[in-house]
Each structure stands twice: as C-alpha cells, then as structure tokens.
Amino acid sequence: MAMGLFRVCLVVVTAIINHPLLFPRENTTVPEHEEEIIRKMQAHQEKMQLEQLRLEEEVARLAAEKEALEQVAEEGPQQYEAYVAWDLWSTLCMILFLIIEVWRQDHQDAPLPECANGDEDELPGLGNTPLQGLTLPNKALLGHFYERCIRGATADAARTREFVEGFVDDLLEALRSLCNRDTDMEVEDFIGVGSMYENWQADRPLLCHLFVPFTPPEPYRFYPELWCCNRSVPLDRQGYGQIRVGQADGDPLGCICGKTTLGEDMLCLLHGRNSSEQPGGEMQDLLCARESPHLDTMQVMRWFQAAITRAWHRIAHKYDFDLAFSQLDTPGSLKIKFRSGKCIPFNLIPVIQYDDSDLYFVSHLPREPFRVTPASSTDWLLSFAVYERHFLRMMLKTLPEGACHLSCLQIASFLLSKQHRLTGPSGLRNYHLKTALLHLLLSRQATDWRAAQLDTRLHELLCFLEKSLLEKKLHHFFVGNCKLPEVVGLPEAVRRAEPLNLFRPFVLQRSLYHRTVDSFYEMLKNAPALISEYSFHVPSDNASLAAKS
C-alpha cells in the first residue's frame, strides 16, 4: 500500500516539474522556427494531458482500494464476533439437544426399580412405579384363587400323566418290534419333561411332553457339535447344534477306501469305482441331509411319523379309542380321541443325547406363534428341559415345606394364558416365565419362598419380567451362568459359553416387541379383576376338577 502511494506521488511531482508552463522562458522573443516549436509544444501538451488522465484514474482506483481495505478492516472484528457468537449458539443448541435425547432415552429404557424386599443384584430404574402401579390382591385372596382354580388341575394332571405314560410305553414297544436293528434307528425309553413333570401345569388342556431318544444302527454313531464350540457361528444359530453321523471309529464314510489310495488293479467291494455316489446314498438312508454327513431334522420327522403310524396300526385293536396327529406339520403332536368326544393331547419329540449329559438335541418343538425357526434343516435346538426338572427338584429339597415358587409360576402362567386368549398370542411364553423364576430361585434365600410370601414373590416375578422386557434382555438360565453350582453337572463348554439372550427376537422385530409389551401391561391391568372373579366363580372346565380333588 505504501509503495503504491509513493509511486503515485512520484508520478505527479514529475508531471508538475516537467509541465512547460511552470517555468516560462525569460526571452519572449519568437524564434525563427516559431510554427514548428508551437506544434511540438501542442503535441507535448496533449501527451501530458493523456498522462494526467491516466494518473487520475490510477489515483481514483488506488483510493477506492484503500477505502475498501479500511472498510474490511473495520467490519472484520464485527464479522468475527458475529461468527463466534453464532458458533457458540450452535454449540449450546447441540448440547441442549443431546441432553434432551439422553434424558428421553433414560426415561424410556431405564431398568425397573428394586421390588419390595429385593436383593442387591436387582437393577434400579424407572421412576417409583414398577408394574405401572399394579396392586395385586392380598395373600388371602391369592391363596383362595390358587386353591379353587389351579390345585384341582394339578391333581388331575397326575392321572392324565399316568394314562399317557402307559399308552406311550406300549406304543414305543410296538415300534421297536417293527424295526430292523441292522438298518433302522433304535428307539429308547421316553423321558417326561415340561410343566406336567415339574408340577406347575395350570392351563387346559393338560399336555404331556415326552422326549424319545434314538440312536443309529451299528456300526454308526452320532457326533453332536455344539454352537459354542465354533466361534464363527452367527447370532441366530446360538443355542443350536449339528449332529454328524459316522462310524464309531470316527470315519463318516464307513470304509477304508476313503482313507487310502487304491491301485488301478484294486476295487472297493462296498463302493465300486464310483466311490462318491454310494456313500452319499448311504448317508441319506441314515436320515442325513443330501450330500452331507449331518442329520436332517425334516427326514427325522418324516421317519418318526411313519414309524409311529406303523406302531399304532399294530396295537390299535387293543384300545377302544383312536389316535390321530393333531398338527400335520408337527409329526409328534398326537391326540387320543375317545368315543365320548373327550381328547387327551400329548407330544412325542425325537431327540438325541449330547454325550453322557442330560442335554438333548430336539428335532422340532410344538408349534407356537412367533417362534423362530432354524435357518437350516441340519440345525438342532439344544434343550435343557431335563436339567430344568432336576434343578427344580434339587431346590425343592432346600426350600421350606409348602414353598410358593411353583404357585407363583402357575398363577403367572394362568394370567398369561387368559391374556393370550383375550388379545391373541404375543412373544412372551411360559418358558420365559419359568426362566425368570429359575433366576429368582438362584438369587434368593430359601426362607424367602415361604407360603406366606406368595403375593410378594409373585409381584417380584412380574417385576423381573417387566425389567427384562424393557431391557430386551433375558439370559438363558443355564448357558454361560457361572453362578450355577457344580452339582448341576452342566458340560463345561455350555457353562463357559457366552450368555444367551432369549429376548433377542425383540431387538430384531420391533412390531413383535411392541405387541408383547402392550399385551404384558394389559395382562397386569386385568390381573386384579381376573383373580377376584375366578376366586368366587369357578368356570365349568375347572369346576369338575375342584369337585374331584
């Protein structure tokens, strides 16, 4: 800027000094060549005028630039202050929005507060109104309701269980007599599982669930593979496993030709020259998936349905009732139909034992709404039903006489069943209720389950379910539970596995989650009126049971 002004001043001074009129000549006499001199002076004057115009334009341009720079210099601090103020306001707004969002998330997703007489492991949480302020009937009314509506069903369950066991024993014996031990699967004795064998069945109709273990013919055997033994298993396959079929020495093909290289002049008498086709057909005869050594659940279901049908035809003349499949897509779902119109349903479920433990791989489960189906027909669900029955029996030895733990589960199951009949099924099932009870049994002292504390323990069970629903997290009782005593006898691989979230479908299916939460709170809302009504009015399906007991 200073150099520009210096240049302008220098040009102006030079022009002024060299102007012809500034220093006139002292001799005013016109020289001899006056005309020529005048012409040169005029030309020089015109040149100076043009130079002056150019200099004036340059000065005007420089003055404009100087004024613009001064204006910018004056407005700069103001713009900077405005920018800083705007940036500060934006930051404050962002922080305010974040605070509001965090508060909203905490308000919606916080866990429940500790229930009355809760232990230190329970989570604090949502305000001061767990279960939306639900007030259950007092212990006297709950006890009256239990005696009138549930105890009768439990007494009748023993007679139903005894009848079904006798018939199934005869049916499986007929099935064994029809099987070829060299080629067919060998069926073992049934194992009773579920609510009927844990003495907490509360809903009608009474339904027995019976596991039927089976093994392959010699020289084959099953090689179960747990999901937790493979770190790369996807989340939707947790809790499942596969069953490889092979020889007892570990050879899935059952021949040494698969282990050695035969010469050109040697021929395998079992597989011939095309050794890739025979083993595949042989594995399919063992109920394996096509071109796979793993057992196929669909083929097992078809085999089991055909075997049960043949066994029934063999002994049908001995009985004065009919046996039918109640669900076509569940081959083990059977129904005994008497001539009087009375029916007794039960489920026979083919299973495979995991090593020497009480874990069983289940080919299928009874059909239920919203149940997640496995992605592949070679995926078998791992069942802990036998461990659950043993654990309840073990806890019963430590609890006070007349403990209320099963009464809590029966009342909760009764309320859930009535709610499903009223508003339709949801994602909450009886197995979730039992899982919640098992967690409470492990965390509470034995003296907390006295009969006089039925109302408190029922409220706590519902509190635990609400907390789990809002968190979308209910851990499997056995998988990855390090608090379990070693006397339970779980396999070490299952004990050290990552905890399995039974509420994971709620994370993936928002509509199912909202439907389940709405149904749960509707059940809580209807619970006091429902318990009061059934306490003084016994429905027709339960009246006969109360009279018999």
Rounded to whole angstroms, the maximal C-alpha distance in the chain is 163
Instruction: Tell me if the pTM is above 0.85.
Output: no
Which of 47-56, 330-339, 428-437 bottoms out in mean pLDDT, i.e. has the lowest?
47-56
Is it the case that residue 544 has pLDDT exceeding 70? no
| Cα dihedral 474, 480, 483, 486 in deg (nearest 10) | 140
- Please give the residue that has the higher pLDDT: either 131 or 524: 524
Identity (one letter) of the amino acid at 108?
Q
Whether 312 and 171 have beta carbons less than 8 Å apart is answered as: yes
State the pLDDT at residue 125. 37
**Mean pLDDT computed over every residue of the chain:** 78
Q: List, for residues 111-144, the tens digit of each pLDDT value.
A: 434 444 443 333 333 444 577 677 788 888 888 8
Long-range CB contacts (within 8 A, 24+) of 46-51: 48/15, 48/18, 48/19, 51/15
Residue 339 class from Cβ within 10 Å (0-12 exposed, 13-18 middle, 19+ buried)? exposed
Q: List, for residues 135-168, the tens digit of each pLDDT value.
A: 788 888 888 888 888 886 667 888 899 999 999 9
Q: How far is CA 426 from the centre of its chain?
A: 15
State the pLDDT at residue 107. 45
State the pLDDT at residue 537. 58
User: In Å, how far are 13, 38, 56, 62, 78 from 66, measured between CA atoms?
Assistant: 21, 41, 15, 6, 19
CA 506, CA 513: separation in Å to the nearest integer?
5
State the pLDDT at residue 126. 42
Q: Within 10 Å of residue 421's Cβ, how many Cβ atoms?
A: 10
- Please give the residue that has the higher pLDDT: either 255 or 360: 360
Q: List, for residues 56-107, the tens digit of each pLDDT value.
A: 777 777 777 777 777 766 655 555 555 555 556 666 666 766 676 555 544 4
CA 429, CA 520: separation in Å to the nearest integer?
11
Identity (one letter) of the amino acid at 131?
L
Is it the case that residue 274 has pLDDT exceeding 60? no
CA 124, CA 109: separation in Å to the nearest integer?
12
Closest CA to 158 of 191, 199, 122, 189: 199
Closest CA to 405 of 394, 415, 395, 420: 395
CA 295, CA 289: separation in Å to the nearest integer?
6
Q: Quick one: pLDDT band at residue 181, thresholds 50, 70, 90?
A: confident
